[in-house]
Every structure is written in C-alpha cells, then in structure tokens.
Amino acid sequence: MSSIIQVKHLSKEFGDIKAVNDLSFEVPAGQVYGFLGQNGAGKSTTIRMLLTLITPTAGSIEIFGMDLHHHRKEILRQTGAMIEKPDLYKYLTALENLRIFALMSGIKVTEKILMDQLAMVGLAERAKSKVKTFSQGMKQRLGIAVALVHDPKLIILDEPTNGLDPQGIADIRKLILHLSGDLGKTLVVSSHLLGEMELIADNMLIIDRGRKVVEGKKEALLNPEKVQVEIITDDKERALAVLKETAWRKNMVSSANGTVLLEISKADIPELNRELTEKGINIFSLRPKHTLEDFFLSLTKN
Amino acid sequence: MLQLLNIELYKIFKRPRTFIAFGVIAAIIFLIQIALKFGGEEYVGMMMSGLNSTFDAPADQVMNGYFVCFIILNLLLIHVPILVALVAGDMISGEANMGTLRLLVSKPVSRTQLLLVKFTAACIYTFLLLIWVAVLSLFLSMLLFGTNQLFVARGEEVNIISASDILWRYVAAFAFATVGLITVAALSFMLSAFADNSIGPIVATVCVIIVFTILTQMQIPFYDNTIKPYLFTTHMLGWKGFFYVKGEEGVTIERSIGNLPAIIRSGLILTGYAALFLFTAIWYFKRKNILS
Amino acid sequence: MVRILLNAFIFFLPAITHGQAAEELVLKVKEKFDKVNDYEAKGKMKMNVTFIKAPVATVKVYYKKPDKLKINNESGISLVPKGSINISIANIIANAAECDIIDAGKEEKTQWRVVKLLPRNEAADIVLSTLYIDEQLLLIRKTRTTTKENGTYELEMTYGKYAEYGLADKVIFSFNTKDYKLPKGVTFDYDDGTKKEESKDKLKNKKGKVEISYSSYAINKGVPDSIFK
C-alpha cells in the first residue's frame, strides 16, 4: 500500500520550546489515520505544518509523493481540512461560505454541487441562513462541508467531534467511515476522544511532548505482545507473596485496592492462572486491560 | 486572480461594518453642509479675516459649492484615513481573529497572491469611499450652494480660481487623495499582517496618523527640516497643490498649477511608502506561522 | 496732527492767492461731470496685489448722482478694496463744496494743475485729496487721497471716447495693503516648497493695484436705487 503522507524527521521550535521533535510517520492511502496526543503534545502544530500554515524548523513532508514546500498548490488543491474550531464568516450564509472556499480551492462551482454538499452534512434547509445563527454542531458540519466541497483526496480533520452531542458524534463517525470506506479517501483525524478513535481509525500515531511514542495498526496497538493483566483475588496479600516468590515478580507493575497489576505476554495468561490456583489462591477475575485509553495513558504517563 | 479579488470584494461589501464608513461620511458631509448653509458666512469671515482690513469681501459669493467642497475635503481628509483603517486594518488580522485565516492560507493560493488580492480589494474600497466623498461633497454641494469662483485661503496668499477652471482640479485632487489614502491603507494593511486581532492595527494606524499630522502641522523649525519632509502625512496634503495657482501680475493663470513638480514628488513619496508597507507586509506574512 | 501741519503749511504759502482760480477749475470740471446723472459701465477688472491671485473679472460699474457707486463682478468673487467706493472722482468732486480748495501750482512734466482739497469737516475720513487736472480738456488725470483709516489711495485715469462726460476708459486704483496671514491651523496648508520673497520688503508699505478697463458706458439711461443696496 502506497503512502499518501510521508513525514521525515519533522521538527518545529518556537523559541526554546520544541513543539515537534524529530517526528516521522507515514499515512497509508485510503485509510483513516488517527492522530493522538494530549493537549500540547504537538498534534495541532504537526497538522498545521501539513497544511503549510507553519513552516517546519527541520525535516521534510511529502504528500502525494511530492515535496510539500515545492508543490504546495498541487497538494493543497487535493487536500481538504478542518482545523480546530470550524470558524467561518459569521455574517455570510452557509451557502456563501461554502461557495467562497470552493472557489478558493480552484474548482468550478455550481449551485447543485454546493447544495449537494450541504445536504450531505444535513444543512440543506439552512443553506440561506447566516452562520452566526448556527449551533456549534451545525458549524462543525458546515466546516466539514467546506473541507469536502472540492472533492479532495486527502482530508485532514482536527478534532472533528469537539463540542458535539452524542448524536452529532455518531453522525460524524458515520461520515468518516463513509468517506474512507465507500469513497476511498485518505483521512487524518486527530481527536482526544480516544474511544471514538478506536471505532474509526485504521492506523494510529501517538505523540507526546512533540515526540512519536508509537505508530502502527490499531489492532496491533490494541493487542500488543505484552498486556497489563489485572488480577482480583480473595486474598491480595497472599497473592502478592506468592507472586514475589516466583519468576512473575519481575512482571509486577503495581498493587492497589485489592487488585494486582502485571505486565505479561498474552500467551502467559493461562500459565499465570494455573500457578496461582495451584498455590490455593481463589481468583475472581483475571482481565487484560486492553482499552486504547489505558494504553494511551500508560504510554504518556511519564 | 480576478476570481479571488471578487471573493475579497464580496466579503468586504457583505459586511455591515463596511457601510458604516459610507454612512459616517454621508453624515459628516451633511452636517458640514447644513452648518455652512445656515452659518457659513461667519465661517467665511474667519477664512477671510486676513483680507477684511483691506478688502470688502462678499461672503455670499465666496460661499458656493466649490468652496464648500474644499472645506469638506479640508476637514474630512484628516478623518477618512480612520475609515480606511477600519477596513484595511481588518483585512488580515480580522480573518485571524475570526479564525478563517487558517482556512484561507491552507487553500491552493500563494500567500503573496492572497495579500496582493486583499490589498487590491482594500484599495478598491478606498477608491469607492472617495467617489462617495466626491459625489456628496462636490456634486451635492454644487447643487445646494451653486457654483462660482473658488476662493482658496492659504497661509500667506489668497488664490481665486475661475469657475470654469475648477472641476479638473477636483478630479486631480481626488486622484491624489486616492494615492494618499492608499498609503494609509497600506500602513494599516501592514500592521494587520503583524497582528492577530483587528483592533490593534486600526488603533495603531489612527495613532500614527494623529501623531504624524500633529508633527506636520506643528510650526517647529527643528522638525520642519528633519522629520517633516519624510512624514507621509505631510505629503497627503498634496491634493491642495492643485488649487494653488500661478499668477502674472496678480492675475491667475488659467489651468496653471503652482508647483506641479512638488505635487508629483509628494505623489511619488506616497507611492513609495505604500509600496514599502505592502512589501513589508508580504515579506513578513510569507514567513508568518499561522497560529490563530 | 497732519491736519494742523498742513493748515500751517498752507497758511504761509503764497500759492493761496491762486485759490480762487483753482476753485473755478474744480467747478468747471464738476459741471462737466454733472452732465452725467447715472451710468452703467461694462469693463474688465484686474487686480495686482502681492498676496492675491485672481482671474480678470468682468465687472459692471453703476453710478448714480451724487455719490452712489457700485462694482459688481459678473463672473465671480468681487474683492473690492475697502473704501475705494468713497474715493471715486464723483465722490471727491461731489464733496468739493465742503472743502477748502488750494492751488498748488503745476506739475512740471505734464503741466497738469495740482489742486488740493481739504475737507472742512474734521470728522471726515478723507484728510486730503490732491487732484491733477488737465486744464485744456477739463479732465482729472490723477488723484491722490489720504484717509485716516485706510492710508493713501491713488487714481489714475486714461480718457477716450467718453471724455466729454469726464468718464475714463481706464482707471488704475492704487492703495496700501496690509500683511495677509492666516494661522496654519485654519488652512492646513500644503507646503509645496514655494518660498515667499516678501521677507526683504516686509516692513515697507505694500501697494496694491486695481485696474478697470471700461468697454462701454450707458450714460443717463437710469439706474434703479436697488442696485446700490
């Protein structure tokens, strides 16, 4: 599978602050690429560098196989983006906003294209309303329409579900899956709602303090070689004593609130179970902690 | 490029704020016209105070449409820059403030192109504003006050110009004023490129104009020869040069301009400043990280 | 003061004996002028004052006995030197009866009779008028009038086809002007680099000139009083 985006050793410094530090990653074509990180991790700076809003201090960006610096226009013509809040001209209508950005993307605009686009995001009836009368969710949808109106191959959405209600979030999720699954678009989506990311992303990049923490397929990230296993027993003290006597002690992560946490490979779970049972410890639960959130937090905790 | 210009003009003229300037100008001009209609002769008396000791000067003849327009321009061309700044100072920083700048800059349009188009749009706005001033201050005044010779009171001289010799001078004066205001627009535009909110550049432009105008009007020899020749506000008064005539034995020479080279020089200095401001704006903006 | 000096000067002057002849001469001139009850004249007015540049004006001048005079600018703004109306020949002559008339001999070059008129009324603005009279043609060629308020005025006349009525084809009116200056805060001047050359003669009295060239007179056709308002 070819890469749509290739980022190599990308860095951005603002004075003494290294917002992005030697970041390299690749975004495969036709997939949803999840971009994860806490606030201030460097997500936004990276996305802005992909859109030429910020000039990198070092490193290179290739999109569609072209150097971004030298082929800016060709690349941006095929790129649609919604960056942070979907701010638009409040004193103009939805249709007027959409027309302006469609024209700026260099496409021939017809009323039909614009109205279809608005219909796709469920704003057809409000086409002639001024944006200042829109709710946050409506603005968000219009922002997505603006990103999509010129039919780009690459779509970059920065926090697209920010400030939406559960229904809105579900709608956006459906739209993203439709764009990638049915229309074959490549999407880069950043979000702090990791649960959402779990549902839509094919590949993920997790960054922290400007550095890459991990990158890979979602399944691989969610089913890593080593997992953290939470053991709940009838007697925590005894269980701990037993574990400390055995080779498992080097896998111990923590023990608190009646539970013990071990980091082991998945294949070793039955063996752990057997050994504890043989030592007469009654096990209530032996559960791998595998949610993305736990994983993410464990990675970025330090 | 034309498409982009259309978009910028569309954005400017869809904003209610844009028309505030047109409204303000209309209001100021009407107020001046009303005041002059009912109390103009006193004002003329003041303008002619230097003459009254030697001449019987008929205030009713002096007070005519051309004269009213001259007074309006005299008063207004100090304040129109503020209205120009209102739009030009908002061209870039306003977009940053609204959050639309990041969308614009991530479109397949070069930043230089974007700025050139925006500046052109600001210039067109300025030009339309002046046309509006011209229509109200000149043509409406001609209608309300009639026409006669134009009496121009200068510091140490009085110029009287034939009625048939005036209109072309106004055309030239408005053209010159356009250059002056475009310089203001360029200054405001440059400050707008530096900032991320619209108030800053507008206020800064107004402050610069106020300070420079004070320096221009101050009669301090030290500034006269050092700073004054370099202030663009000094040269913005150049439109008046078209109403300073040459004379032969006290008789106005028709179609003459007192010192055309000086006006051309002022025009070139203003154009130079405008170009400097614009290039600085582009130079800076091309390197600017869009964080808004 | 001037008045006293002049009186003293005149009192001791032998020329006073010619007073009678001068009075007659003025009367003859007046008679000639009396043929005109009123007139409406067309002309061009040109002004030459250091601080004024104005176009040549097309004017109409109206006169009615005994001393009404009005200059109307047909084409623009008529700046008329203050007091000039009262300095017209008609006015001077009309008032001659209230003056002491003194013969001051002949001007050498032109052989014009020089006659001085001293108003008896001390409150009058005019302190002294000097007339230069062509005795052959009975025409006033030149006058010089000193006033209390507005300095000295001079009138110079050139006669042509209306000489029989004592009306000039061309009148040059010279007067004193004061300095003209407006505060820059009022005018917001554009400094176009033109330097004023007045610095050297700033202390001198400046002369202004108004020249009216008449093209036609309509004499005794009647002029309504309303024009002079």
Question: What is the C-alpha to C-alpha distance for residues B205 and B202, in angstroms, rounded to an integer?
Answer: 5
pLDDT of residue A70: 96
List, for chain A, all residue ranges whose pLDDT scores fall below the cut of 50.
Answer: none
| Closest C-alpha among A189, A123, A196 to residue A164 | A196
Give me A82's structure tokens. 């919604």
In sign, the C-alpha dihedral spanning B107, B112, B115, B120 is negative
Phi, then psi, of C155 in degrees rounded to 5: -120, 135
Give yes or no for a contact between C168 and C142, defined as CB atoms under 8 angstroms apart.
no
How far C123 CA sits from the closest chain B CA (Å)?
Answer: 20
Does A66 contact B at CB distance below 8 Å?
Answer: no
CB within 8 Å: B252 and C54: yes
pLDDT of residue B194: 95
pLDDT of residue B49: 74
A254 bridge partner residues: A261
Helices and strands (DSSP H and E) totals, chain C: 4, 12
Helix residue ranges per DSSP H, C40-132: 89-94
The lowest-confidence range among A286-295, B150-159, B164-173, C217-226 is A286-295
Q: What angle do CA C48, C49, C53 make, to 5 degrees?
A: 80
Buried residues in B37-64 as b, exposed as e (16+ CB within 10 A): eeebeebbeebbbbbeebbebbbebbbb
Helix axis angle, A136-148 to A111-120, nearest 10°: 130
Residues 77-96 of C with CB under 8 A from B: 77-82
CB within 8 Å: B16 and A105: no
**Per-residue confidence at B206, pLDDT binned at 50, 70, 90?**
very high
> In order along chain C (229 residues), what is the average pLDDT of each group of 10 residues?
49 50 86 88 90 90 83 81 69 80 88 90 85 90 87 89 89 83 70 58 67 92 86
Buried residues in A216-226 as b, exposed as e (16+ CB within 10 A): eebeebeeeee
**Per-residue confidence at B155, pLDDT binned at 50, 70, 90?**
confident
Q: How many CA atoms lie within 13 A of B245 on its CB side?
A: 27
Chain A residues touching B104 at Cβ < 8 A: 104
Q: What angle do CA C204, C208, C209 make, to 5 degrees?
A: 145
pTM assigned to the model = 0.85
| DSSP symbol at B165 | G
Protein fold of C2-223: outer membrane lipoprotein receptor (LolB), chain A (2.50.20)
Give yes or no for a contact between C61 and C41, defined as CB atoms under 8 angstroms apart.
yes
B272 inside domain: yes
pLDDT of residue B170: 96
How far B177 CA sits from the closest chain A CA (Å)?
Answer: 31
CB within 8 Å: A101 and B107: yes
How far A3 CA sits from the closest chain B CA (Å)?
Answer: 21
Does A46 contact B at CB distance below 8 Å?
Answer: no
| Closest C-alpha among A86, A24, A76 to residue A53 | A76
B99 inside domain: yes
Give me A136's structure tokens. 């946050």
pLDDT at B142 over 90: yes
Give me C110's structure tokens. 């032109």
Residue of chain A whose Cα is closest to the Cα of B114? A104
Give me B98's structure tokens. 């609204």
pLDDT of residue C11: 47
Suggest the residue from C49, C78, C79, C177 to mutate for an interface test with chain B (most B CBs closer than 10 A): C79
pLDDT of residue C12: 44
CB atoms within 10 A of CB B196: 17
Q: Express each pLDDT in B15-40 by its tens digit.
A: 988 998 999 999 999 999 999 999 88
Q: Express each pLDDT in B55-90 by its tens digit.
A: 877 888 889 999 999 999 988 877 889 899 999 999
Average pLDDT score over chain B = 91
B239 inside domain: yes
CB atoms within 10 A of CB C75: 17
Report residue B244 CA to chain centroid gap: 18
H/E run at residue B102 = helix B101-105
Give yes or no for a contact between B188 and B89, defined as CB atoms under 8 angstroms apart.
yes
How far C155 CA sits from the closest chain B CA (Å)?
Answer: 17
Does C187 contact B at CB distance below 8 Å?
Answer: yes
Give me C62's structure tokens. 């109206």
Distance set, CA B48 to CA B42, B96, C89, C181 (Å): 10, 51, 29, 10
Question: What is the C-alpha to C-alpha distance for residues A127 and A135, in angstroms, rounded to an integer?
Answer: 14
H/E run at residue B55 = strand B55-56
Chains touching B (at least 3 CB pairs under 8 A) are A, C
CB within 8 Å: B50 and C182: yes
A214 bridge partner residues: A206
Chain B residues touching C181 at Cβ < 8 A: 50, 155-156
B130 inside domain: yes
pLDDT top residue among B133 and C19: B133
B292 inside domain: no
pLDDT of residue B99: 92
| Closest C-alpha among B151, B9, B130 to residue B68 | B151
B291 inside domain: no
In sign, the C-alpha dihedral spanning C17, C20, C23, C29 is negative
**Per-residue confidence at B48, pLDDT binned at 50, 70, 90?**
confident
- Three-state DSSP state, A27: strand
| DSSP symbol at A68 | T
Residues 222-261 of A with CB under 8 A from B: none
Query: Longest C-alpha distance within chain C, in Å?
Result: 62
Residue of chain A whose Cα is closest to the Cα of B285? A53
CB atoms within 10 A of CB C34: 15
| Closest C-alpha among C173, C175, C177 to residue C202 | C177
pLDDT of residue B35: 93
Q: How many CA atoms lie within 13 A of C203 on its CB side?
A: 1
CB within 8 Å: C186 and B159: no
Residue of chain C whose Cα is closest to the Cα of B254? C55
H/E run at residue A48 = helix A43-50
Give me A100's structure tokens. 């302006």
CB within 8 Å: A88 and B109: no
Does C178 contact B at CB distance below 8 Å?
Answer: yes
Question: Average pLDDT for residues B166-195, to the nearest whole number?
Answer: 96
Suggest the residue from A79, A100, A140 to mutate for an interface test with chain B (most B CBs closer than 10 A): A100
B113 inside domain: yes
pLDDT of residue A227: 76
pLDDT of residue C17: 47
CB within 8 Å: A105 and B98: no
Helix axis angle, B80-88 to B199-217, nearest 10°: 150
Suggest the residue from B18, B102, B114 to mutate for an interface test with chain A (most A CBs closer than 10 A): B102
Q: Express each pLDDT in B239-267 by its tens digit.
A: 999 999 998 888 999 999 999 999 999 99
Domain boundaries, chain C: 2-223
CB within 8 Å: C180 and B244: no
pLDDT of residue C183: 67
pLDDT top residue among A299 and B191: B191
How far C114 CA sits from the closest chain B CA (Å)?
Answer: 28
